[in-house]
């Protein structure tokens, strides 16, 4: 049976994919900054609640919720965070370039969103992508070795 | 699949110790059962400290439990 931490990585990845995926799928509808902020806040709260419920259920089911991370868990987490860092750094880099080069706004004119909202979406996408890479990396390292 | 250059005889030593379970070995070493399994399968090279702890559980010298084989083919 996979370890508690591998299973929790699967759960976190699926939660992020489900909640943020549905948000990003309707990205073109999020034209109003207040509504976008409200939708994001709702997703964050929903993710926290669902994650707590599923992690408690997982801990009860596996009876390993109190298991302390050992050296392999810590190494896998460190490598996964390293991979995720590159995604966050890339997202921030592209956001900076987008902010400083006004001509780039023309490339996303079709979305019909205010520039500040597009910038916010770029940062959200980079954060979500980084989280997905983080958990996907953990699953990969747990399954194929580190 | 990642394979490390450190081979080990943990499976045989567990057998010699009246089929000591991975969980029992993990509990005595202070790691998870999955980590012991990953070490046995050659998917993870343990730290020197954990390697010494494993050798101590079996009462064998470190080099009898772990061997460095950089050119060994994947199993």
Question: pLDDT tens for residues A32-61?
Answer: 778 888 888 999 999 999 999 999 999 998
Question: pLDDT tens for residues B53-66?
Answer: 999 999 999 999 99
Question: pLDDT tens for residues B13-53?
Answer: 999 999 999 999 999 999 999 999 999 999 999 999 999 99
Mean pLDDT in residue range A107-119? 78
Give the least confident one: A6-20, A43-57, A126-140, B58-72. B58-72
Residues of A in contact with B31 (CB under 8 A): 70-72
B31–chain A Cβ distance below 8 A for any pair: yes
Residues of B in contact with A2 (CB under 8 A): 34
Residue B61: exposure state from Cβ atoms within 10 A (0-12, 13-18, ≥19): exposed
Rg (alpha carbons) of chain A, rounded to whole number: 18
What pLDDT score was predicted for residue A33?
Answer: 78
Question: pLDDT tens for residues B6-15?
Answer: 899 999 999 9
Residues of A in contact with B43 (CB under 8 A): 144-146
CA distances from A69 to B19, B21, B43 (A): 26, 20, 18
In the predicted model, is pLDDT for residue A111 greater than 90?
no
* Apex A16 CA angle, A12 and A22, nearest 5: 150
Residue A7: exposure state from Cβ atoms within 10 A (0-12, 13-18, ≥19): buried
Establish, for the pair of chains A and B, how many residue pairs have beta carbons separated by less than 8 Å: 41
What pLDDT score was predicted for residue B1?
Answer: 64
Q: Among the residues of A30-114, which ranges form H helices?
A: 33-62, 71-100
Chosen from B4, B21, B25, B32 to mutate, greatest number of chain A CBs within 10 A? B32
Closest residue in A to B27 (Cα) is: A67
Q: Return the closest-CA partner of residue A126 out of A83, A102, A103, A94.
A: A94
Contacts of residue B65, Cβ cutoff 8 Å, sequence gap at least 6: B8, B9, B10, B13, B51, B54, B55, B58
In the predicted model, is pLDDT for residue A118 greater than 90?
no
8 Å CB contact of A67 and B32: yes
Chosen from A65, A67, A68, A70 to mutate, greatest number of chain B CBs within 10 A? A70
In the predicted model, is pLDDT for residue B73 greater than 60?
no
Closest residue in B to A73 (Cα) is: B35
> Which pair of tokens denotes residue A129?
């992508």
In the predicted model, is pLDDT for residue A132 greater than 80?
yes
């Amino acid at each position: 049976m996979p370890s508690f931490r591998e299973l929790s990585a699967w759960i976190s990845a699926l939660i992020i994919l489900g909640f943020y995926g549905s948000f990003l799928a309707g990205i073109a509808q999020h034209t109003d900054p207040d509504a976008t902020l409200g939708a994001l806040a709702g997703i964050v709260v929903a993710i926290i609640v669902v994650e707590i419920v599923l992690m408690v259920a997982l801990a009860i089911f596996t009876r390993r919720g109190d298991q302390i991370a050992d050296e392999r868990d810590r190494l896998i987490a460190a490598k996964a965070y390293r991979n995720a860092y590159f995604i966050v750094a890339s997202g921030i880099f592209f956001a900076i370039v987008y902010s400083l080069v006004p001509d780039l706004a023309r490339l996303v004119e079709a979305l019909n969103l205010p520039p500040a909202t597009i910038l916010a979406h770029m940062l959200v996408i980079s954060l979500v992508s980084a989280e997905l890479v983080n958990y996907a990396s953990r699953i990969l390292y747990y399954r194929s070795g580190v | 699949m990642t394979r490390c250059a450190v081979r080990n005889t943990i499976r045989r030593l567990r057998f010699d110790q009246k089929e000591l379970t991975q969980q029992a070995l993990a509990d005595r070493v202070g790691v998870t059962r999955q980590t012991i399994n990953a070490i046995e399968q050659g998917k993870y090279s343990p730290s020197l400290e954990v390697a010494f702890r494993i050798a101590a559980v079996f009462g064998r010298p470190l080099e009898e439990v772990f061997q460095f084989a950089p050119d060994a083919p994947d199993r």
